[in-house]
Amino acid sequence: MVVLSKPAIEQYSFIRNCIPTTTFYTGIPIIDLSKPDSKNLIVKACEEFGFFKVINHGVPLEFITNLESEAIKFFSLPLSEKEKAGPPTPMGYGNKRIGPNGDIGWVEYLLLTTNPDSCSHKFLSVLGENPEMFRSALNDYILAVRKMTCEVLELMADGLKIPTSNVFSKLLKDEKSDSVFRLNHYPPCPDFQALEDSNMVGFGEHTDPQIISVLRSNNASGLQISLRNGNWISVPPDQDSFFFLVGDSLQVMTNGRFQSVRHRVLTNSLKSRVSMIYFGGPPLSEKIAPLPALMKGETSLYKEFTWLEYKTSAYNTKLADNRLGHFERIVAS
């Protein structure tokens, strides 16, 4: 089991009197991709939660276990070795510090592009004698998850009755797609046992700026999402399924019909959590605005912007900030 060097506990954020992570919410929408009604259930889940679980997804179990195995090998390396793959700029290895604006979490991570050929020599050299095993596992996983994600996005477009079913998926399939991939490791926190009414933050609350995020983790708990009423709920872990999260860009493209889901990860004292997240993003030059097919006479709630403009803006904010606030139109009452 991998344990980070022990930092001063006071540096980290806590959530007082939070519902324990072992009290799981049982109403998470489940989308079975083998069922004919999945497109309508996807739309309903996005409208009500901005979040859903996908089963019968078609991603080979072998691809999932191979990449998790390679991730565990990397995170098991001595800290001095892992740090040779950092600091994140923004790609690379990071430890505790999340982004450039002061956010701290009980987490270490690898942030990578979705093009395995672009893995830096600095990163590959840390992997020892056979870096191709990691590169191959990463490539197999990303290709399979991207294919599954595009299938879900096309079902979503059909459910929204958009004439062009690839309106979302084509942005991820584009060779210039600015998608990224993240491996997170949340070690058990030994000091957490003394904090009976608190939960330590592994990754602070935030929304994802991209179109869609696709998360898979081992069977360790910790993920929480915020409901529309502001209450936080704990998501039951399921290592055989994928969790989809609506991103800020999809919120804009649907003119607020879908809302990006605020989420966070809490730690515990007993078990390591390993998660892998595919962030489906458009090309940097892509203009993000409400889709005309969904407007039906509505007024746009957002100013048009390119993905590069939004990404740059988001990178200069703290995790919990409302990143879309700068791009909202002021509608006269």
106 pLDDT above the threshold of 60? yes
Q: What is the DSSP letter of 228?
A: T
Mean pLDDT, the chain, as a whole number? 88
For the record, the structure tokens of 62 come out as 């072998």
Tell me the three state secondary structure of residue 142. helix
Looking at residue 235, what is its pLDDT?
A: 96
Contact 53, 31 (CB under 8 A): yes
Contact 106, 96 (CB under 8 A): yes
Is there a catalytic annotation at residue 273? yes
Instruction: Give Cβ neighbours of residue 328 (< 8 Å, ≥ 6 apart).
Output: 301, 302, 303
Q: In what order do the strands lie in the sheet containing 232-234? A: 14-16, 198-206, 263-266, 223-226, 232-234
Looking at residue 119, what is its pLDDT?
A: 67
pTM: 0.91
For the chain, give the percent of residues with pLDDT over 90. Answer: 69
* Mean predicted confidence (pLDDT) in 151-174: 98
Of residues 261, 265, 320, the one with CA closest to residue 45: 261
For the record, the structure tokens of 164 come out as 């062009």
How far is Cα 325 from Cα 212, in angstroms, rounded to an integer? 19
140 pLDDT above the threshold of 90? yes
Q: What is the DSSP letter of 260?
A: P
* Mean predicted confidence (pLDDT) in 82-97: 88
How far is Cα 71 from Cα 14, in angstroms, rounded to an integer? 27
* Catalytic position from the list 146, 216, 264, 273: 273
Lowest-confidence segment of 17-26, 189-198, 305-314 by average pLDDT? 189-198
Looking at residue 322, what is its pLDDT?
A: 93
Looking at residue 22, what is its pLDDT?
A: 53
Looking at residue 288, what is its pLDDT?
A: 98
16 pLDDT above the threshold of 70? no
Contact 178, 283 (CB under 8 A): yes
Q: Give phi and psi for 78, each to the nearest 5.
A: -55, 145
Instruction: Give Cβ neighbours of residue 67 (< 8 Å, ≥ 6 apart).
Output: 137, 138, 140, 141, 276
Looking at residue 9, what is its pLDDT?
A: 39
Looking at residue 220, what is its pLDDT?
A: 92
Which range of 4-13, 75-84, 246-255, 310-319 scores highest in mean pLDDT? It is 246-255
Q: 190 or 229, which is more confident? A: 229
Looking at residue 56, what is its pLDDT?
A: 97
* Mean predicted confidence (pLDDT) in 30-39: 96
